[in-house]
A and B are shown apart, each in its own frame.
Chain A
Amino acid sequence: MFNLKSIGIYVAAIAAATLLGTAAHATDITGAGSSFVYPVISKWSAAYAAKTGNRVNYQSIGSGGGIAQIEGGTVDFGASDKPLDAATLAKFGFGQFPDVIGGIVPAFKVEGVAPGKLVLDGATLANIFLGKITHWNDPAIAKLNPGLKLPDAKINVVHRSDGSGTTFNFTDYLSKVSTEWKAKVGEGTAVTWPTGIGGKGNEGVSAYIRQIPNSIGYVEYAYAVQNHLGYARMKNAAGQVVQPDAASFQAAAATADWANAKNFDLLITNAPGAKAWPITATSWVIMYKQPKNATHSKVALDFFRYAYTDGKSAAAALDYVPLPQSLVKQIEAYWKAEFKQ
């Protein structure tokens, strides 16, 4: 009896707290889309709620779903790994801006080659994924890796089987560095792969890379770091060999030509900077410029302002890279000019 009673009191207390809580909460806003940004948005959301009382509910349903939801007006913001073009933005009255940076790394497992020792450039990577370079001791790879002993073994290519923003940015990079790739395959969240096997999600690809000898694939940097996958260094557009890390991702975001990209419609792959990691990606937030619910929209912008400043360390802890200061300034200016606040 005593137990039941105490449980009753407890339940009542929780109910009261929840009621009071909701009363005290200014607003609950919702967002949906990209699964790539889900970990960092949920972390920002928790910290933001603790600070302001406003809650951000984010559904990780994929970019396609996020775009459909914001078009339907059922969420306050959508998140997509692929920017919308000017026509679509104008049609719905959307504005878009980047939220966070991530890197994509070629991950491999080759007998006798230590993680981080392999160096590749764009053309070679494209030829491997085109199925033109079929063996690890190919002269093209050997030329980039003098002194590295490469086995005479067939290259097993691994790619994503599910549609993903990672694939979109990776294929965009290959299209930029190889005209043959652009003509034969092109870029998209899912493409017709000339060779290789498909793994579902980052976890599927990395499981295949671990299990299949002499394999190469591509995964998100955060995933490669957390799972200790061996990744390759890349020769970037400036001809420098760079290591994938926060600094080289930020360098890519900082040197990309944002100033001339209207609505931030720019993929930052193959960025020109000397220190820039060539396969760097951003994700975009899409919102109505003239929202039906101005309060919600205001909270959403405030949430991302928080993410750009106080949320930096949370992003870094999850191996995402916060936007460089120069870009944040441009976004703030864009908000002021375009959004009704």
Chain B
Amino acid sequence: MSSIPATIATENADRRSRVDARHDVWFRRLLKVCALLVLAALLGAALSTLWGGREVLLGHGLHFLTSDAWNPVTNDYGAWAPIFGTLVTSLIALILAVPTAFGIALFLTEIAPAWLRGPVAMAIELLASIPSIIYGMWGLFVFVPFMASIEPGLSEMLGRIPLFGKLFQGPPIGLGLLTAGIVLAVMILPFICSVMREVFQTVPNRLKESSYALGSTTWEVVWDIVLPYTRSAVIGGIFLGLGRALGETMAVTFVLGNAYDITASLLMPGTSISSSIANEFNEAVGTHRSALIALGFLLFVVTFVVLLVSRLMLRQLARREGA
């Protein structure tokens, strides 16, 4: 009597597990499709920009990468000026944003009183959600006049230093690589800072407390305990910000000055890959359009190279830690 319900129970369980297994298989396939969709979209975008830019990429060859000419009238295109502008503005942004973000995140997780943490963290998150066009308008109408007013002093003070001073010589018009870099820094700051704050919070309290118990200062705790513990995530956050800086379009277009020039001075106007595309795509036809699409492909390549370098850096770090 008792064996019959038991068989039913096992049969039920068998059926259940078969159904579960089938569901599992479908679920796994569904997830795989989702993941592949991302890959397909990425590959599709890369290939279509490559295809759209083939006329210039093939026709100009290496000249397209190395030349700083950009002449839609004679259809002579070189991407070096936009690449240069993109890299320089992003670099300035990183140099300014990373230490600041680090400071803010440390303050919020280690030093600030509990009642202050919530509001400041919220303010940073809000900063991240401001559309880039607003930063562009702010940059153009508020920040550019401000920069124009301090640039004469800046040239006077820093421009005299040999070699380094070259960076700060130029007409005080307020627009240019430095202004664009600073606006970008404000834009990427919240991204880097949020990530840092989140990961600093994950450091186990007992580690920090033991270090404090051994007599470490706050700085020593941060430098020797918190940072090594969260290193890869912090670098990940920095590259998230860098990725945004490389591709930022509208805000940069407003304050960069949009001149296809390569200059030693940070006060001079320049151009970036994405702002060139945004500026000229509307009215471009034929080879000009092809050149702009090829620029888009180059942005892919630049971003990819930057990500690759960051991966290699992380791996190197991990290896050194293991050793």
* A→B interface (CB under 8 Å): 35, 61-65, 67-68, 154, 156, 161-165, 185-193, 196-200, 204, 207-208, 211-212
Binds A, one of B54-62, B212-220, B236-244, B250-258: B250-258
- Report yes or no: A191 in contact with B72, Cβ–Cβ below 8 A: yes
**Interface assignment of B171: CB less than 8 Å from any CB of chain A:** yes
User: How many A-B contacts at CB < 8 Å in the complex?
Assistant: 92
Partner among B145, B279, B282 whose Cβ is within 8 Å of the Cβ of A198: B279
Partner among A161, A207, A212 whose Cβ is within 8 Å of the Cβ of B253: A161
- Report yes or no: A163 in contact with B282, Cβ–Cβ below 8 A: yes
Q: How far is the CA of A164 from the CA of B278 in the complex (A)?
A: 13
- Report yes or no: B282 in contact with A162, Cβ–Cβ below 8 A: yes
Partner among B74, B148, B282 whose Cβ is within 8 Å of the Cβ of A212: B148
- Report yes or no: A200 in contact with B175, Cβ–Cβ below 8 A: no
Q: Which residue, B275, B281, B282, B284, has most C-beta atoms of chain A within 10 A? A: B282
Task: With both chains docked as a complex, state the minimum distance between the C-beta of A16 and any C-beta of chain B, in angstroms.
Answer: 39
- Report yes or no: A64 in contact with B173, Cβ–Cβ below 8 A: no
- Report yes or no: B279 in contact with A163, Cβ–Cβ below 8 A: yes
Between-chain CB contacts (< 8 Å), 10 pairs? A62-B283, A64-B284, A161-B253, A162-B278, A190-B72, A190-B280, A192-B73, A197-B257, A198-B279, A208-B175
Please classify how large the interface on chain B is, using the bins under 10, 10 to 19, 20 to 34, 35 or more. 20 to 34
Task: With both chains docked as a complex, state the minimum distance between the C-beta of B261 and any C-beta of chain A, in angstroms.
Answer: 9
Q: How far is the CA of A200 from the CA of B71 in the complex (A)?
A: 18
Task: With both chains docked as a complex, state the minimum distance between the C-beta of B294 and any C-beta of chain A, in angstroms.
Answer: 16
Task: With both chains docked as a complex, state the minimum distance between the C-beta of B116 and any C-beta of chain A, in angstroms.
Answer: 37
Task: With both chains docked as a complex, state the minimum distance between the C-beta of B251 and any C-beta of chain A, in angstroms.
Answer: 11
Q: How far is the CA of A165 from the CA of B269 in the complex (A)?
A: 23
Q: How far is the CA of A340 from the CA of B145 in the complex (A)?
A: 57
- Report yes or no: B171 in contact with A156, Cβ–Cβ below 8 A: yes
Task: With both chains docked as a complex, state the minimum distance between the C-beta of A109 and any C-beta of chain B, in angstroms.
Answer: 12
- Report yes or no: A193 in contact with B72, Cβ–Cβ below 8 A: no
**Residue of B whose beta carbon sits closest to that of A157:** B259
**Residue of B whose beta carbon sits closest to that of A168:** B283
**Interface assignment of B285: CB less than 8 Å from any CB of chain A:** yes
Contacts of B258 in A (CB 8 A): 161, 197-200
Q: How far is the CA of A187 from the CA of B73 in the complex (A)?
A: 7
Contacts of A189 in B (CB 8 A): 72, 283-284
Contacts of B269 in A (CB 8 A): 197-198
Task: With both chains docked as a complex, state the minimum distance between the C-beta of B182 and any C-beta of chain A, in angstroms.
Answer: 17
Contact with A along B178-216 (1 / 0, CB 8 A): 000000000000000000000000000000000000000
* B→A interface (CB under 8 Å): 69-74, 140-141, 144-145, 148, 171, 173-175, 253-254, 257-260, 269, 271, 275, 278-285, 288-289
- Report yes or no: B175 in contact with A192, Cβ–Cβ below 8 A: no
Given A198-B258, A198-B259, do A162 and B280 touch, yes or no (CB 8 Å)?
Answer: yes
**Inter-chain pairs besides A161-B253, A191-B73, 8 sampled, C-beta below 8 Å:** A62-B282, A62-B283, A64-B282, A162-B279, A163-B282, A192-B69, A198-B279, A200-B279
Contacts of B144 in A (CB 8 A): 211
Q: Which residue, B258, B271, B280, has most C-beta atoms of chain A within 10 A? A: B258
- Report yes or no: A212 in contact with B73, Cβ–Cβ below 8 A: no
Given A64-B284, A200-B258, do A163 and B174 touch, yes or no (CB 8 Å)?
Answer: no
**Residue of A whose beta carbon sits closest to that of B73:** A186
- Report yes or no: B171 in contact with A154, Cβ–Cβ below 8 A: yes
Given A163-B279, A164-B283, do A193 and B259 touch, yes or no (CB 8 Å)?
Answer: yes
Closest 9 CB pairs of A and B: A163-B283, A198-B258, A62-B282, A161-B258, A186-B73, A197-B257, A189-B283, A192-B71, A162-B279
**Residue of A whose beta carbon sits closest to that of B72:** A190
Q: Which residue, A67, A197, A204, has most C-beta atoms of chain B within 10 A? A: A197
Task: With both chains docked as a complex, state the minimum distance between the C-beta of A285 and any C-beta of chain B, in angstroms.
Answer: 17
- Report yes or no: A156 in contact with B284, Cβ–Cβ below 8 A: no
- Report yes or no: A162 in contact with B145, Cβ–Cβ below 8 A: no
Q: How far is the CA of A192 from the CA of B257 in the complex (A)?
A: 14
Q: How far is the CA of A198 from the CA of B280 in the complex (A)?
A: 12
Q: How far is the CA of A197 from the CA of B256 in the complex (A)?
A: 9
- Report yes or no: B285 in contact with A68, Cβ–Cβ below 8 A: yes
- Report yes or no: B174 in contact with A212, Cβ–Cβ below 8 A: yes
Task: With both chains docked as a complex, state the minimum distance between the C-beta of A293 and any C-beta of chain B, in angstroms.
Answer: 25
Q: How far is the CA of A185 from the CA of B73 in the complex (A)?
A: 8
- Report yes or no: B283 in contact with A156, Cβ–Cβ below 8 A: no
Task: With both chains docked as a complex, state the minimum distance between the C-beta of A156 and any C-beta of chain B, in angstroms.
Answer: 6
- Report yes or no: A64 in contact with B73, Cβ–Cβ below 8 A: no
- Report yes or no: B174 in contact with A190, Cβ–Cβ below 8 A: no
- Report yes or no: B285 in contact with A67, Cβ–Cβ below 8 A: yes
- Report yes or no: B140 in contact with A207, Cβ–Cβ below 8 A: yes
**Residue of B whose beta carbon sits closest to that of A65:** B282
Task: With both chains docked as a complex, state the minimum distance between the C-beta of A236 and any C-beta of chain B, in angstroms.
Answer: 25
Contacts of A199 in B (CB 8 A): 258
Task: With both chains docked as a complex, state the minimum distance between the C-beta of B225 and any C-beta of chain A, in angstroms.
Answer: 48
Q: How far is the CA of A67 from the CA of B260 in the complex (A)?
A: 27
Partner among B173, B275, B283 whose Cβ is within 8 Å of the Cβ of A197: B173
Contacts of A62 in B (CB 8 A): 282-283
Q: How far is the CA of A65 from the CA of B285 in the complex (A)?
A: 8
Q: How far is the CA of A126 from the CA of B279 in the complex (A)?
A: 23
**Residue of B whose beta carbon sits closest to that of A195:** B259
**Residue of A whose beta carbon sits closest to that of B276:** A161
Contacts of B173 in A (CB 8 A): 156, 197, 212
Contacts of A196 in B (CB 8 A): 259
- Report yes or no: A162 in contact with B259, Cβ–Cβ below 8 A: no
Q: How far is the CA of A35 from the CA of B282 in the complex (A)?
A: 10
Contacts of A67 in B (CB 8 A): 285
